Amino acid sequence: MDTIERALEFEQTKMKSLSTSDRIEISREAKQLILELNQIYKDKKDESIMDIMKRLTAIKQKVEKRLKGRPLTA
């Protein structure tokens, strides 16, 4: 259950005024946690684990959206 505790702790971290390298680290850490949680979910089929994965995915998408920047207009 260490992975679940790390995921819950990760959710509580502040995501303001981050540098690009911080954003990359957060994105990679979120991806790793999601993959680990997915392995646990395959065994236990617990909906609370799925909810944690969904919240982590939302955080990851926000960070990656900021990394990619705005699309150029024609």
The pTM assigned to this predicted structure is 0.80
Contact 9, 39 (CB under 8 A): no
Predicted confidence at residue 32, as pLDDT, reads 93
Pull the structure tokens for residue 6: 């790390």
Write out the chain's pLDDT in tens, 74 residues: 688 888 888 888 877 888 888 888 989 999 999 999 999 999 988 899 899 999 999 989 888 888 887 777 76
- Quote the domain boundaries for residue 59: 34-67
Predicted confidence at residue 20, as pLDDT, reads 86
- The total domain count for the chain is 1
Predicted confidence at residue 12, as pLDDT, reads 86
- Is 17 a member of any domain? no
Taken in order 45, 48, 50, 53, is the CA torsion positive or negative? negative
- Is 6 a member of any domain? no
Find, among 15, 18, 49, the residue nearest to 34 by Cα: 49
What residues have CB less than 8 Å from 26, skipping those under 6 apart? 13, 15, 18, 59, 60, 63
